[in-house]
Structure 1
Amino acid sequence: MAASIKKVSPASARAHTRKKKQGSSLSLPPGMFKMISLVVLVGLAAWFYKVIQPPAPAICGTPNGPPVTSSRIKLRDGRHLAYMEAGVPKAKAAHKIIYIHGFASCKHDLLPVSPDLAEELGIYLVAFDRAGYGESDPDPKKSVKSTALDIEELADQLSLGPKFYVTGFSMGGELTWGCLKYISHRLAGAALIAPVGNYWWPGFPANVSKEAYSMQLAPDKWAVGVAHYAPWLTYWWNTQTLFPSSSVIAKRIEIFSDADLKVLSKFQGRPYTAYVTQQGLFETLHRDMIVGFGSWEFDPLDLDDPFPGKEGLVHLWHGTEDWIVPVILSQYVSQKHPWIKYHEVPGAGHLFPLADGMADAIVKALVQGKN
């Protein structure tokens, strides 16, 4: 018996075919969605990785880098360190001082000791560009210890003798702790001037570090937090435009106290401003933040007196109106270390070493061993 055949109209056939095609277009083979998601995720990760990578530094003296115009020494690892000298000639100096510059600064920002005092006390000063700054080669392994060893080698190559002084301002003051830790046997004395403090040093009680941390502007809380907890994001965080980055890098006026504003003109308008970061922002400002606010291999609050025989003194200077580095950190350090000669300057801001007569007072106390 022949099977019956159902007749279908051409319109119905076309509608059935179209519905079948539409249904099939909405279905993916098993695992295809996961594969597409993985490809998108890998693509985004690759894009983000590229975005957060800092550009290569423009090293001085290379074909694409700035020219070398400064006196430089060649260090143990092949890097070059640029320096400048001031004060009386080295051969007739009674006191030799190495100055460690601060954040976003360079050797040209040498402590402004008056020529009269330098002549009177026989003071020779040398300042250098820290690694990556100015005309000193970047150091991808830069640390607190490496900076101290750079200083010791600079002293040796300049024939400063077995003993010399160090002074450091702001971030340079923080790095002076490395000199007290690693090369104290070479020091005749040291002065930390408005030194940056690391909120994560274990020796700070929680209430002290939290109070100091809370005194910062919100963008700076985030910036130093990124430098500590996610250093690999430091370049991106301080160059992106989605969120406010470091107020110090941006030079926002609200970070300066009234006392700072009175002396700020001495720091602004420097003809060498571009010189400071000419090799790249990452190797200067961003790496400074990573080193300064990272996890240190020692705690300055655990250090012993580097001069137990009173052959030298450590001075710490800080202004009470410092809005960049909270004074309470230095206050606690001075209480923890009674061997530190603490000088608190009433009403002074972060830039107080630039005020008339302050540099002379700091150096005079350092070399004469006075409070």
Structure 2
Amino acid sequence: MPMPLRSPGRSTASSTSDGDRPASIVVEGDRQLAYTEYGRPDGAPVVFLHGTPGSRRIGALFDAAARDCGVRLIAPDRPGYGRSDPWPDRSVVDTGLLVDDLLDGLDIPTAGLVAFSGGAPYALAAAARTDRIDRLDIVSGATPPSASEATPRVQRLLAGLASTTPSVLGGLFRGQAWLAQRLGPSVVVDQYTTDGIDEPISEDAEELVRADFVEAFARHRSGAITEFRHTADDWGVDFDAVDAAVDLWHGDADTNVPIEDARRFATQIPTAQVRALDGADHLRALLRAVPKLLDEHR
């Protein structure tokens, strides 16, 4: 497929940032890509890609762990989420190029890469197109249609709406964000957890998950619509070109992306291995895995 003309990322804000006041760089012409840094400013750089939908704010869940592990955790909003400009006609591969732009803008030669859920295709696209990723960890990762034999019906419905009636899906997201702002975090958390698991999630973590979801739709809904459309199509990623080691951290109680699909997907990536998390669902796998993998990135 034709590749877009690329312009080097250039910093347009202070390197210091927080969840409410992100920094940004200019990418792909004149689009603003917002990001927040967590952990240690002088630590080993790791880029963290949020889920679908999601935002940079999910990185706050691991601020303390990143500090303890000596990691500089850099969490961007992908286009059309949070404070990043929309790019509704982007492809999976286009989005993968943004990791290179982010590293350029921050003068980072190489970095680790972590992706949660719907961030998986964009992380793999980045790893396939650059040798600057020295390790890739995917947690509760989405799988392409070729491996997704057990995809839940609701996921297929959302992907269908994104392709056929995006305005309907946008209205659904608008309503969910409105409810999430006004009701408790369970409105969001229940979408990522499985009933019957006796493993508590802290109130702080639940509130950050809610804040992440609300921030995803702070200005736009095009990011989520675009990415749900991507999930229904071939990603266009050459998995054989991924040289970095790929660890797929996946809960065996995940009902959002069943582990059977993750295991099928792992056979398509020559450098991949599955690291199963006993009794973990979609969200609990994230909470368990990221502190462990960040320690391995130090």
1:275 aligns with 2:222: no
- Contact 2:160–2:229 under 8 Å retained in 1: no
Q: Give 1:174's aligned residue.
A: 121
- Contact 2:245–2:272 under 8 Å retained in 1: yes
Unaligned segments of structure 2, at least 5 residues: 1-19, 173-186
Of the two structures, which has the highest relative contact order with CA contacts closer than 8 Å and spacing of 6 or more?
2
Q: Give 2:89's aligned residue.
A: 141
Q: 1:306 Cα deviation (Å)?
A: 2.9
Q: Give 1:222's aligned residue.
A: 157
Aligned to 1:74, the other structure's residue is in SS state: strand
Q: Give 1:70's aligned residue.
A: 22
Cα distance change of structure 1 residues 115 and 278 upon mapping to structure 2, 3 Å threshold: closer
Aligned to 1:131, the other structure's residue is in SS state: coil
- Contact 1:112–1:359 under 8 Å retained in 2: no
- Contact 2:254–2:282 under 8 Å retained in 1: yes
- Contact 1:192–1:315 under 8 Å retained in 2: yes
- Contact 2:79–2:87 under 8 Å retained in 1: yes
Q: Which amino acid aligns with 1:221?
A: R
Q: 2:231 aligns with which of 285, 289, 292?
A: 292
* Range with bigger deviation, 77-86 or 174-183: 174-183
1:263 aligns with 2:201: yes
Rg larger in structure: 1
**How many pairs does the alignment contain?**
262
Q: Which amino acid aligns with 2:289?
A: M
Q: 1:192 aligns with which of 128, 138, 141?
A: 138
- Contact 1:264–1:351 under 8 Å retained in 2: no
TM-score, normalised with respect to structure 2: 0.77
Q: CA RMSD in A?
A: 2.8
Q: 1:86 Cα deviation (Å)?
A: 1.5
Q: For each residue in 1:116-174, what CA deviation from the matched residue of structure 2 results, as whole angstroms up to 9, or x when unmatched? A: 6634x43111101110111100013222112111111011011112x111110000123
Aligned to 1:125, the other structure's residue is in SS state: strand
Q: Give 2:78's aligned residue.
A: 130
Cα distance change of structure 1 residues 261 and 336 upon mapping to structure 2, 3 Å threshold: same
Unaligned segments of structure 1, at least 5 residues: 1-67, 241-249
TM-score, normalised with respect to structure 1: 0.63
- Contact 2:248–2:272 under 8 Å retained in 1: yes
Aligned equivalents of 2:191, 2:113: Cα separation in 1? 31
Aligned equivalents of 2:144, 2:166: Cα separation in 1? 16
Q: For each residue in 1:214-261, what CA deviation from the matched residue of structure 2 results, as whole angstroms up to 9, or x when unmatched? A: xx14x443332344xxx1423325637xxxxxxxxx859476313398
Q: Give 2:55's aligned residue.
A: 106
Q: 1:354 Cα deviation (Å)?
A: 4.8
Q: Give 2:3's aligned residue.
A: none
Aligned equivalents of 2:214, 2:279: Cα separation in 1? 31
Identity among equivalent pairs (%): 21
